[in-house]
Each structure stands twice: as C-alpha cells, then as structure tokens.
A and B are shown apart, each in its own frame.
Chain A
C-alpha cells in the first residue's frame, strides 16, 4: 500500500512538471522568424517583430567598442538608425567574432555587424547586405622593427610570428600567405587588443588587422607604427541568415536609404576624421 502511494505521488509530481514545462515553452521570446513559429502553444498569427538583435564583437574600435558602459561605434550607430527606420528596438549582443556567423545561422541573432568583410566562403553560409564601409588589412609593427613592408614577411626563408584576431580576414590572409607557405607561424588571439599587447611584449613580430582598429590601437599604445600592405580593399556588410529573406530586404532597403541621404557617411566621419 505504501509503495502504491509513493508511485501515485511520483506520477502526480511528474505530471505537474510536464505541465509546467509545457506552459513555459509558450512564453514569448524575441524570435527572428517571420515565418510561422512551429511549436508555440499560442495559435495566433506570427507576432510583429519589435526587436532587432545585432551580434558583434565589441573589441573593434571605431566600429564597435565599449564606452560609457555600452557598445558604441560606427556599426552600433548605423544599426540603431536601421532599427529606427524599421520601427524596431535594437539589442546588441557582444560575442566572439568567430561565433557571429554561427549565431546568425542558428537564429540566435537577427544580423551580424562587426566590420565583417564579404568573402566567398561567408557568402556560402549567409547573405550580406550592400556594403556600408570599406577597410584594408594593414600591418602593425614596433617602431624599431626590421619589417618594412609585406615583402619582408613573404620573403624567401622568412620566419615571423604574426598576431591576428581569430577568424578575421587578417587571420585568413596570414594563414594562406604565410603559415601555409611555411614562412612563419600565426598566433590567433580572441581580440585585436590581445594581439597588440603580445606585440608590445615581443611575443609576436607583427599584427595584421583592419586599418581603422589599427589606427586606434597605435594611437593608444606607444612605440608602434603601421605599414601599408598590398592587400585588397574589403567591403564591410551586414550578414543575415539565408532563410531570412524578408529581413534582408528590409534591412538592405533601410541601409541604402541611409547611405543615400548621407547618414552613414556622417556617422563614419564622426569616428574617422578625414585624412
């Protein structure tokens, strides 16, 4: 009889837990799917999107960085302007740079905006909007470095240690042109600032990173200088999941309007003084 009572109690408790969990799964979380949500307990039509979640790696001045306790920068302001045009609230998620595309693909964030260059491999995974800014990869070296140009890095028999931020185009170029050719090793750091700190400590010989963050890092640290490189100009764009064609259209239209009326240019000029 005692065992029966125990069994009944356990069964009731289990039923209660299942009931609670079923109830919880119906709660509204900001999901980016404009298509009908599959397993929701509310049969209402797809809710209006009110928040636009942007993923970024806020260690990339002047495009995104922390100031006054929040993420600011060129990307943050352009994204806020786009969200304003679409009547949505912008939410910025700071994450590791190499996780941004995975997060866009899995729907964790609506769009990724992180000074991200459009490359063919990336285009296979996600869609990009039109480009809103351009960048070039440059090399940062100590002022008294023996490295004078890219040719020194690519010279026969060279063996340098290159610092880069993981998964950026700087990382890709350094890996293809230098590590795969046996001309040195590549140290991949989580953020550019770590690579620059290693450069100051002498743990790497140079750092390959985009030109605007490079200028910010060189301005903030003594004894460093920037070399010009022969690397091509890159286009920065916003990445959005392939299934999310509706959002892509909305964001792209808003972005093009902002480019046409000069908002994007004025935001860029606010952070990057014209040479």
Chain B
C-alpha cells in the first residue's frame, strides 16, 4: 500500500484515508495486472449462458406447457386411441419433469450434470446452458400454462364454433392472446435466470461471480464483490427497462 501510495498523484495522497483506501482497493482489484479482464470474460460467459439457456428454456417450456394444457382440456372428451395414449405418456413425462426439476436446487442439478451425466464433455458452457435451460424450462412451462389458462374460455369456444380444430384454435387465437399475460412473468424468469447463473462457479465455470471470487483470491480485497453486484444490478435494470417498453407497446392495443 505504501509503495503504491508513493507513486500515486499528489491530489490523491491528500485525500481522506477512506478515499485513499478505496482507490487502493480499486487499483488492486481491477487495474493491477489487468485483473478487470477476468470480469469482462466472466460477464461474456454469464450473458452467453443466460441467453442460450433462455432460448432452450422457452422452447422446452412451450412444449411442456402445450402438452399439459392439451391434456387438461381435451382428455375428458377424447376417445381412447393411439393419440390419447401418446398424450397420456407425454403428460406423465411432463409431470415427472416438472416435479423433479422444480423440486431440486439448481446448484445440485448443475453439479450432477457436470460431474456425472455429462462427465465426458469438455465444453463447460454447453453443460451450463443445458442445465440452466432445463431448469428454466420447468418454470417457464408453468408460466405459459398459466398464461394460456388465463385466456377467456369463450375465445376457444368461438374458435371451435367457427370450424377451427384444436390445433388451429390454439395457434391462431389462444396463443397470441396468452402472450400478453405471459410476458411479465417471463421477463421476471429471465432476470431470475441471469442471477441464477451465479452458481456456475461450483463447476469451475468462469462466470461473473466466479471472476469476482478469483480476483478476491489473488488481491485479498473484498471490493470485487461490490463491483460484480453493481454490474448485475445495471444489467437487470437495463433489461427491466427494455421489458417495460415491450409491455407498454403491447398494451397500446387496449383502450
């Protein structure tokens, strides 16, 4: 600290002690040895994992939600045949998937995937995307199912009476309307997913939080924790603002 202080500019040396300490900690955490590079790399990894996991999660979620909704709505009226049996199996699998994934912590899931199930792969980002995608898919499925159920049943009745079959009703009438109900919860899930990726460090994936810990380990300063908290906050605020604009545009169709 003393050695660094001697090389610091004069205006800094005359500042109160806590300012000097803060600047010294900042220098040690981020500037010395270009340690901020860890943060940049970690941020890149976090955003990559979040986006790809979200895509996977939404895709999985839509499929599972449609299976569940179709079963709930159609099963009583269907005749027993290959279609119904297939739907029954799909529904059972979906229920198991939802129960297991929502019932275990994501940390345990990613560790199981990394150390046991996907132990052969060397691509850690892939393992993280799969793990967080599967986890997110379970929650997204319930969100979308809720959104679909929220659409007035009169809409589907009107669709059927116009001659659409089930698939056409869903595709042309129900799903577009459910999008509006689904959006706030979906954007919330995205934000949760972004922060959830912080546990990727458990399997040595260098995400943003892990980068902060690595710097903490070599600099012996706790300032990086504040730094990464601020970075997460800025990203979340940015996306919240973005989602708000999207919601407002969707709402412009109402009176």
Contacts and interface: CB of A to CB of B under 8 A. Distances in A.
Contacts of B86: none
A99 B216 CA distance: 8
B218 A167 contact: yes
A172 B122 contact: no
A215 to B, nearest CB: 23
B204 A198 contact: yes
A187 B127 CA distance: 15
Contact of A122 (B202, B210, B220): B220
A51 interface: no
Given A121-B220, A188-B204, A201 B214 contact: no
B222 interface: yes
Interface stretch (A31-39, A79-87, A151-159, A189-197): A189-197
Contact of A125 (B115, B204, B220): B220
B220 A161 contact: no
Given A98-B213, A187-B204, A188-B214, A201 B115 contact: yes
A96 to B, nearest CB: 8
Interface residues of B, number: 20
B217 A105 contact: no
A166 B220 contact: no
A35 B214 CA distance: 33
Contacts of B120: 201-202
Contacts of A188: 204, 206, 210, 214
Contacts, number: 55
A98 B216 contact: yes
State the main secondary structure of chain A at its contact with B: helix
Interface in B105-144: 115, 119-122, 124
Interface in B199-229: 201-204, 206, 210, 213-214, 216-218, 220, 222
A167 B210 CA distance: 12
Contacts of B115: 194, 197-198, 201
A124 B222 CA distance: 15
Interface in B175-206: 201-204, 206
B91 to A, nearest CB: 35
Contact of A202 (B122, B203, B214): B122
Contact of B218 (A106, A121, A197): A121
A271 to B, nearest CB: 27
Nearest to A99: B216
A101 interface: yes
A167 B213 CA distance: 9
A161 B218 contact: no
Contacts of A263: none
Contacts of A171: 217
Contact of A194 (B121, B124, B204, B216): B204
B119 A98 contact: no
B119 A201 contact: yes
Contacts of B210: 188
Nearest to B33: A180
B220 A102 contact: yes
A195 B202 CA distance: 11
Interface string A118-152: 00011011000000000000000000000000000
Nearest to A188: B204
Interface of A: 97-99, 101-102, 105-106, 121-122, 124-125, 161, 163, 166-167, 171-172, 187-190, 194-195, 197-198, 201-203
Interface of B: 1, 115, 119-122, 124, 201-204, 206, 210, 213-214, 216-218, 220, 222
20 contacts: A97-B217, A98-B213, A98-B216, A99-B216, A102-B216, A124-B220, A166-B217, A172-B218, A187-B124, A188-B206, A190-B202, A190-B204, A195-B204, A201-B115, A202-B119, A202-B120, A202-B122, A203-B119, A203-B121, A203-B122
